[in-house]
């Protein structure tokens, strides 16, 4: 239930549990992939990554239902209108049942067709069964936990999702490592992961049933309230095209070993992206969503400060990642000799992708809470077109290969991030965009300076995970000092604004 006296407390809990959850997911993911690399080599590791990307396309069946449902719940939750809440939750459940049926049918077809594209690299039965098992985790999420996840997200109970995510990840990691150590096949290993997904979604179901007694599951489905899902679908399609086309092209026209190289870098930067978004965007989104409908002026003031803090933190994380990714890959892939994993350009390209994609995250949050999905869908379509066009041209018409695909992603992100931020400032928050542009320019310059000294002139060298951790701590401190001093000197106005807000809050407390 919504409690008016604890918004800041729930926000803090959500952010803390989000950080812990993403750290656990990152570590367990790295551990499992390392064991898979050691046990099966780069080919099967590349296969699991390829199948995961294919599943991302099938997620289109969800058609933006989750996002639209969460957005629709903000207003009735802020008014304690449980009849309206019940109608939306029931409607969400009805739609998820339809999605599950369609998804299952197409999953069966993909499980039979995908193995033919991998002929000569992996056995048909292994590829087919692995595809079906991987898809099973999505089915479990839709049919068991879909509508319950929506109500928890909208009602500032993200910490419940994060705690269950942590427990599920730990369970999956322990079971899969034990199976890998015992010499189990890859299909059995992934079946154990499916079991952990079922555990997590069962947790959503049990928690909501116990804590949300006021939801009437016999209420008439309020399908109209979630009708914005079709506008969200356009954004979902564009996002999937931009974020997952690279692996599909590599799977079809390159080797699974190349996919494996991509997957190692993408796993690290992908988990960083998920961690940042879940901690600084998803965790506080419900807080901003309810604030948007209660006090628009306060929302705009909070957004301005929040975006500045987020942007500087993002550059800090990207700076550390840029410097430390190469020594990490050296240690992580030690002993794997079937393909070279060290590359001087991939760290730069992946860091740019992370940075350009996440710079728009506060703007995406503003669009989500305001429901401006239809108004911003044109930019999403253009983003996808730019990505596909540039990526295909550079991949097939030049010798850039993987680099070409990543450059295509960079180009599309430059356009879309600019487009979304411009829209948000003009139509949602009504602030002057010049200060934000200054913040970005200042921190980009500091990032370039950081790269020159830490990667070109004095590259970090580590020989073990312990050495890497020690070096990462030192780099984090150095990057912090550089960004703090640089922003105080060249971005004084925004820093002073943040300082004033912090001082006011401390004084009031």
Q: Could you read off the pLDDT of 436-454 as tens digits, one per residue?
A: 999 999 999 999 999 998 8
Average pLDDT over every residue of 11-17: 80
- Among 12-16, 314-318, 358-362, name the one with the lowest average pLDDT: 12-16
For residue 3, what pLDDT band results from cuts at 50, 70 and 90? Answer: very low
Would you say 53 and 133 are in contact if contact means Cβ atoms under 8 Å apart?
no
- Let me know whether 325 and 215 are in one domain: no
Same domain, 203 and 310: no
Residue 64 — φ and ψ, nearest 5°? 70, 15
With beta carbons less than 8 A apart as the criterion, state whether 439 and 496 touch.
no
Question: What's residue 294's pLDDT?
Answer: 78
**Res. 7: pLDDT tops 60:** no
**Count of structural domains within the chain:** 2
Residue 453, in any domain of the structure: yes
Q: Are 487 and 495 in contact (CB under 8 A)?
A: yes
- Rounded mean pLDDT, 343-350: 94
- Across the range 469-493, mean pLDDT stands at 93
**Residues 152, 286: Cα–Cα separation, whole Å:** 10
| Residue-level pLDDT at 4 | 45
- Output the pLDDT for position 58: 67
pTM value is 0.76
214 and 322, same domain (yes or no) = no
Tell me the C-alpha distance between 313 and 480, whole Å. 9
Co-location of 355 and 494 in the same domain: yes
Give yes or no for residue 413 having a pLDDT over 90.
yes
Q: How far is 377 from 238, CA to CA, in rounded Å?
A: 9
- Structural domain boundaries enclosing 101: 1-231
Residue position matching structure tokens 């898809």: 135
Whether residue 299 is found in the same domain as residue 225: no
Q: Report the alpha-carbon distance of residue 38 to residue 268 in Å, rounded.
A: 18
Q: At what angle do helices 361-370 and 283-294 cross, to 10 degrees?
A: 50
- What is the structure's pLDDT at 63? 61
Is the predicted pLDDT of residue 139 greater than 70, yes or no?
A: yes
Report residue 49 as tokens. 């990554």
**CA nearest neighbour of 93 among 66, 118, 67:** 66
pLDDT class for 489, splitting at 50, 70, 90? Answer: very high
Name which residue leads in pLDDT, 57 or 356: 356
Identify whether residues 314 and 435 lie together within a single domain.
yes
Least confident of 30-39, 196-205, 279-288, 354-363: 279-288
Higher pLDDT, 83 or 259: 83
pLDDT number for residue 269? 93
> If you average pLDDT over residues 369-387, what whole number do you get?
89
More confident residue, 220 or 502: 220
Domain co-membership, 395 together with 502: yes
Is residue 257 in a domain? no
At residue 118, does pLDDT exceed 80? no
Which run of H or E residues covers position 164?
A: helix 158-181
Of 212, 231, 250, the domain-final residue: 231
Per residue in 22-52, pLDDT tens? 889 889 988 988 888 888 887 877 888 778 7
Q: Which of 85-89, 237-241, 382-386 has the lowest mean pLDDT?
A: 237-241
Does residue 475 register a pLDDT over 70? yes
Specify which of 163-177, 248-262, 358-372, 453-467 reaches the highest per-range mean pLDDT.
163-177
Residue 220 belongs to a domain: yes
Query: Do residues 207 and 87 both lie within one domain?
Result: yes
CA 484 to chain centre: 27
Rounded to an integer, the average pLDDT of 65-89 is 88
CA 114 to chain centre: 25
Average pLDDT, the chain: 86
d(CA 282, CA 17): 12
Q: Quick one: pLDDT at residue 5?
A: 46
Distance CA 5, CA 213 (A): 20
Report d(CA 276, CA 274) in Å as an integer: 6
What average pLDDT score do residues 46-68 get?
74
Q: Among 234-243, 262-271, 309-318, 358-367, where is mean pLDDT lowest? A: 234-243
> What's the pLDDT score for residue 479?
94
In a domain, 372, yes or no: yes
Q: What span, in angstroms and rounded, lies between the C-alpha atoms of 81 and 273?
A: 35
CA 414 to chain centre: 18
Place of tokens 């299952």: 104
Residue 262: inside a domain, yes or no? no
Question: Which tens digit of pLDDT belongs to each residue from 181-209?
Answer: 998 888 899 899 999 999 999 999 999 99
Q: Please, what is the Cα angle at 141 between 135 and 145, to 5 degrees? A: 165
Q: Average the pLDDT over each of 165-179, 229-243, 285-299, 465-479 and give the range with the smallest value.
A: 229-243
At which of 216, 231, 246 does a domain end? 231
Q: What percent of the chain has pLDDT over 90?
A: 39
d(CA 127, CA 95): 30
DSSP SS3 for 376? coil
Asked if residue 472 has pLDDT above 90, the reply is yes
**Pairwise pLDDT comparison (318 vs 458), residue with the higher score:** 318
Domain membership of residue 481 (yes or no) is yes
Q: How far apart are CA 139 and CA 62, in angstroms?
A: 11
Residue 259 lies in a domain: no
- Span 135-160, mean pLDDT? 85
Give the angle 118-120-125 at the CA atoms, nearest 5°. 65
Quick check: is 248 in a domain?
no
pLDDT, residue 61, reads: 67
From 182, 197, 231, give the residue that closes a domain: 231
Q: Higher model confidence: residue 424 or residue 455?
A: 424
Query: What is the share, in percent, of the chain residues with pLDDT greater than 70?
Result: 95
Based on the domain organization, do 227 and 305 belong to the same domain?
Answer: no
- For residue range 219-251, list pLDDT tens digits in order: 999 988 888 777 777 777 787 778 778 878 887
pLDDT of residue 287: 77
């Amino acid at each position: 239930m919504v409690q008016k006296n604890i918004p800041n407390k729930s926000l803090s809990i959500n952010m803390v549990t989000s950080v812990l959850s993403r750290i656990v997911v990152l570590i367990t993911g790295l551990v499992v992939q390392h064991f898979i690399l050691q046990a099966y080599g780069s080919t099967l590791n590349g296969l699991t990554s390829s199948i995961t990307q294919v599943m991302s396309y099938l997620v289109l069946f969800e058609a933006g239902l989750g996002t639209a449902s969460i957005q629709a719940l903000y207003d009735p939750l802020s008014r304690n209108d449980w009849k309206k809440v019940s109608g939306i939750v029931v409607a969400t459940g009805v739609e998820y049942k339809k999605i599950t049926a369609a998804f299952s049918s197409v999953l069966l077809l993909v499980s039979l067709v995908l193995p033919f594209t991998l002929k000569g690299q992996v056995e048909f039965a292994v590829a087919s069964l692995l595809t079906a098992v991987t898809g099973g985790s999505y089915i479990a999420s839709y049919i068991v936990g879909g509508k319950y996840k929506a109500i928890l997200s909208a009602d500032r109970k993200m910490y419940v999702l994060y705690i269950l995510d942590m427990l599920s990840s730990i369970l999956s990691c322990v079971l899969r490592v034990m199976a890998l150590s015992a010499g189990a096949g890859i299909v059995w290993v992934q079946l154990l992961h499916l079991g952990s997904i079922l555990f997590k979604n069962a947790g959503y179901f049990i928690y909501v049933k116990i804590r949300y007694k006021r939801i009437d599951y016999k209420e008439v489905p309020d399908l109209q309230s979630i009708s914005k899902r079709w506008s969200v679908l356009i954004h979902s399609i564009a996002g999937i095209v931009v974020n997952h086309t690279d692996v599909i092209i590599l799977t079809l026209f390159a080797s699974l070993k190349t996919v494996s190289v991509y997957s190692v870098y993408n796993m690290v930067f992908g988990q960083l992206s998920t961690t940042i978004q879940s901690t600084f965007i998803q965790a506080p989104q419900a807080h901003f969503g309810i604030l948007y409908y209660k006090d628009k002026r306060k929302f705009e003031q909070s957004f301005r400060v929040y975006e500045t803090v987020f942007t500087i933190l993002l550059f800090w994380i990207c700076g550390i990642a840029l410097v430390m990714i190469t020594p990490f890959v050296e240690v992580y892939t030690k002993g794997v000799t079937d393909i070279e994993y060290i590359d001087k350009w991939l760290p730069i390209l992946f860091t740019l992708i992370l940075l350009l994609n996440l710079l728009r995250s506060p703007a995406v949050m503003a669009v989500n809470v305001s429901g401006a999905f239809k108004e911003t869908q044109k930019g999403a379509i253009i983003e996808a077109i730019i990505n596909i066009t540039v990526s295909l041209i550079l991949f097939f018409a030049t010798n850039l290969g993987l680099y070409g695909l990543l450059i295509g992603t960079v180009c599309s992100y430059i356009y879309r991030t600019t487009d979304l931020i411009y829209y948000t400032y003009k139509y949602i928050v009504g602030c002057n965009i010049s200060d934000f542009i200054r913040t970005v320019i200042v921190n980009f310059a500091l990032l370039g300076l950081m790269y020159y000294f830490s990667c070109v002139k004095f590259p970090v060298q580590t020989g073990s995970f312990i050495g890497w951790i020690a070096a990462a701590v030192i780099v984090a401190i150095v990057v912090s000092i550089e960004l703090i001093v640089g922003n105080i000197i060249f971005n004084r106005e925004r820093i002073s604004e943040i300082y004033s807000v912090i001082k006011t809050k401390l004084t009031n407390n």
